[in-house]
């Protein structure tokens, strides 16, 4: 995707929870790295970095030199027959309604509800038979899938590529609003339509198509390739990715993977005349605050001054009036994203100056916080959010409510934690409890004694602290961003495009399956390769979690084309702590 947003409102593109963001690393030396492959990629030229002393260095280009790899890449992008078959494979995946709901029991406890997932497995086995025949396939906790292609060099850490099988439901009352039926997988020549087409069966199918192409090419990996698909990401991943994470941790151990790439940000943004590629290197935390108020019942003809619903209304108002404070700390990837924009794009001079001093000047930092706080999407990246999403109470018009509950959803910013959020909400509940002489129990601990008037019971559920930040100052990041430049600039962009592509990190405001893989590697990237043009907000959102979800087939083919290059490139790369005669550094 390619969008032109300069100055006012340009932050909106970077702070949407579905299309996530990116940043850059610092290094002290530009080096020309020549890698001689021990297999099919005989030689690559790598330049790290063009501007090493900048806050946002720009990686040099990395691209396999062999002409046959270039021909294969162009075949994926340009061959009409390949395009039709690829669209059909994605459309077929969309046709299987692998819907998941939040309250579903595990497949072992309620197999009937998960029957479509068995059908989807069968579809994959039939469609990608050569992948199943060549790679080792493990089924994890019924419907999780792990494909393993063993490499010849066990000292090289494996790469992990992930996606998820499940999709969000389609509200029955919206079916008539779809241009094409939500599980039709309809292909109109440009787009595939249907639930899951862009979140994220497109990525899942693209990864399997990539493996299919490599198998057909008789590729023999040196570095092991692992591809994993969870099946309940849209319901927190407790059955799928969590079980897969445990399986991989047991098999390989902690910090055993070269890198993980999962769904996340996608597309290019044009800001101040430059092309920005955003890769999420961090993810906000999560907490649901479930607050229950129990009070004596009675007949509504003789009510107290404040019923439990009225008291809960006071608490809701207090919570919403006491929001979390925004902060742009140095470890927030959004600061690095802003620095990339400030150093490389044409934005307001005073804004640029403040951004470049925000990491060391309190006044400049405060002005940037104020600037971001005025933008709906910008503020979501620098503060913990809270949303009162659910309320329940009362069963009859002439009976006083005895049990009222609310759920407040929090997405925890990098400066906060599960504990600080819980303490903040506890303090607010305590104020109301004291005002109405009520008790308070927080996660089983009595904070204020239960009284004859009742008590609050506060429980924090699904607690998740913000994700560990992915480092951006090593060769794993450099290789990824250099390959992005090489593939995107060579194959995806028109000749008159403004170069170079600038990759930068950012913060995902939503959560992905990667939360189950934190122990496997420090290098986690939430990003889907694509460089298409966005002409409207509707195109940008692509109906994700809404009506008319669709994906561009051009974008889908670009994902495949990127991965057939990237997997070959990292097959010649060694981890930073490893040395090889195949790597020559020229200073």
Distances (CA, A) of 111 to 93, 98, 125, 544: 21, 13, 20, 27
| Catalytic residue IDs | 166, 233
Residue 164 assigned to a binding site: yes
Please list the residues that pair with 369 across neighbouring strands. Answer: none
Question: Are the beta carbons of 205 and 212 closer than 8 angstroms?
Answer: no
* 346 among annotated binding-site residues: no
Residue 164 CB coordination number (10 Å): 28
200 preceded by a cis bond (ω within 30 of 0): yes
Block residue for tokens 């062999």: 66
38 is in an annotated binding site: no
| Residue 313 backbone dihedrals phi, psi, to 5 degrees | -60, -40
User: CB within 8 A of 354, min separation 6: which ones?
Assistant: 361, 364, 365, 367, 368, 371
Nearest Cα to Cα of residue 529 among 93, 209, 133: 209
Give the three-class secondary structure for 196. Answer: coil
Closest CA to 336 of 488, 509, 469, 530: 469
Per DSSP, the residues of 480-529 read HHHHHHHHIIIIIS-TT--S-EEEEEEEESS--GGGG-GGG-S-EEEEE-
Residue 199 labeled ligand binder = yes
CA distance 179 to 276: 32
Helix, strand or coil for residue 271? strand
Q: Dihedral of the CA atoms 73, 74, 79, 85 (nearest 10)? A: 20
Q: Are strands 455-464 and 439-442 parallel, antiparallel or unpaired?
A: parallel
What SS3 class is residue 133? helix
Which of 511, 507, 7, 468 minimizes the C-alpha distance to 236? 511
> Cis omega before residue 242 (within 30°)?
no
Alpha-carbon distance 488 to 506, whole Å?
20
Pairwise CA distance, residues 448 & 446, whole Å: 6
- Determine the angle formed by the axes of helices 349-357 and 362-373, rounding to 10 degrees: 120
Whether residue 102 is annotated as binding a ligand: the answer is no
Question: Is 276:268 a contact under the CB 8 Å cutoff?
Answer: yes
Q: Which residues are annotated as a binding site?
A: 164, 199, 234, 262, 545
- Summarize the annotated binding site for Zn(2+) as residue ranges: 164, 199, 234, 262, 545
């Amino acid at each position: 995707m390619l969008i032109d947003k300069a100055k006012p409102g340009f932050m909106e593109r970077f702070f949407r929870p579905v299309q996530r963001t990116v940043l850059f690393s610092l290094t002290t030396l530009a080096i020309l790295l020549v890698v001689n492959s021990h297999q099919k990629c005989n030689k690559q030229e790598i330049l790290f970095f063009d501007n090493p002393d900048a806050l946002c260095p720009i990686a040099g280009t990395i691209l396999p030199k062999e002409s046959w790899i270039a021909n294969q890449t162009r075949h994926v992008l340009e061959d009409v027959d390949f395009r039709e078959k690829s669209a059909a494979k994605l459309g077929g995946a969309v046709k299987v309604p692998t819907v998941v709901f939040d309250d579903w029991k595990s497949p072992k406890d309620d197999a009937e509800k998960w029957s479509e997932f068995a059908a989807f497995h069968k579809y994959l086995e039939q469609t990608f038979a050569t992948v199943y025949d060549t790679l080792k396939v493990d089924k994890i906790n019924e419907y999780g899938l792990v494909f393993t292609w063993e490499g010849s060099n066990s000292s090289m850490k494996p790469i992990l590529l992930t996606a998820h099988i499940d999709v969000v439901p389609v509200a029955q009352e919206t079916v008539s609003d779809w241009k094409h039926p939500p599980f039709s997988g309809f292909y109109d020549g440009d787009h595939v339509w249907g639930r899951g087409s862009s979140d994220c069966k497109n990525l899942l199918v693209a990864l399997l198509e990539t493996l299919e192409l490599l198998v057909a090419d008789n590729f023999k990996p040196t570095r092991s390739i692992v591809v994993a698909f969870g099946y309940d990401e849209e319901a927190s991943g407790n059955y799928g990715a969590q079980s897969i994470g445990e399986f991989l941790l047991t098999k390989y151990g902690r910090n055993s993977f070269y890198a993980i790439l999962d769904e996340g940000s996608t597309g290019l943004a044009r800001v101040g005349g430059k092309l920005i590629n955003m890769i999420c290197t961090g993810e906000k935390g999560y907490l649901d605050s479930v607050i229950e108020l129990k009070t004596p019942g009675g007949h509504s003809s003789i009510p107290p001054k404040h019923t439990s619903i009225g008291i809960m209304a006071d608490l809701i108002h207090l919570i919403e009036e006491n929001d979390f404070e925004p902060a742009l700390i140095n470890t927030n990837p959004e600061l690095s994203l802003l620095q990339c924009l400030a150093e490389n794009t044409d934005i307001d001079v005073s804004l640029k100056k403040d951004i470049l001093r925000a990491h060391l000047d309190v006044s400049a930092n405060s002005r940037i916080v104020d600037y971001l706080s005025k933008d709906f999407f910008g503020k979501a990246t620098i503060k913990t959010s809270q949303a009162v999403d659910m309320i329940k109470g009362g069963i009859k018009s002439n009976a006083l409510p005895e049990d009222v509950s609310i759920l407040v959803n929090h997405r925890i910013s990098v400066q906060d934690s599960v504990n600080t959020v819980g303490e903040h909400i506890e303090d607010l509940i305590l104020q109301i409890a004291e005002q109405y002489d009520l008790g308070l129990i927080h996660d089983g601990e009595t904070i204020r004694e239960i009284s004859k008037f009742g008590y609050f019971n506060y429980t924090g559920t699904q607690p998740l602290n913000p994700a560990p930040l992915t480092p951006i100052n090593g060769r794993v990041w450099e290789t990824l961003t250099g390959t992005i430049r090489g593939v995107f600039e060579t194959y995806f962009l028109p000749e008159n495009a403004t170069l170079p592509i600038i990759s930068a990190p950012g913060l995902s405001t939503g959560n992905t399956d990667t939360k189950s893989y934190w122990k496997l590697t420090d290098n986690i990237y939430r990003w889907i390769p694509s460089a298409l043009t966005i002409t409207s907000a509707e195109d940008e959102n692509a109906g994700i979690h809404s009506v008319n979800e669709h994906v561009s087939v051009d974008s889908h083919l670009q994902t495949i084309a990127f991965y057939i290059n990237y997997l070959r490139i990292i097959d010649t790369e060694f981890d930073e702590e490893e040395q090889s005669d195949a790597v020559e550094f020229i200073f």
